[in-house]
Amino acid sequence: MRCLPAWENDSVTQVLVELTSAIAWENYRARFDHAFGIEAENFTEGAVCALPVRAGESKATA
């Protein structure tokens, strides 16, 4: 008897493996960049969509 029978589903297992792989790769990349002093290139600087302030909200909470 298994505790988590849903884990037997192949698609769930594949998704978990892919997610774990992506997390591990990002962790590796971040540590590598930090070790060699590699910083962001700021490609996305200023490339955000500012949301309008809703009525009744101050700018500090928006």
The full DSSP string for 15-59 is HHHHHHHHHHHHHHHHHHHHHTT-----TTTT---PPPPPTT--T
pLDDT attached to residue 21: 95
pLDDT band, residue 4 (cuts 50/70/90): low
Q: Is 39 left (phi over 0), alpha (psi -120 to 50) or beta?
A: beta
pLDDT band, residue 62 (cuts 50/70/90): very low
Q: Which tens digits make up the pLDDT trace of 12-24? A: 888 899 999 999 9
pLDDT attached to residue 52: 82
- pTM beyond 0.75, yes or no: no
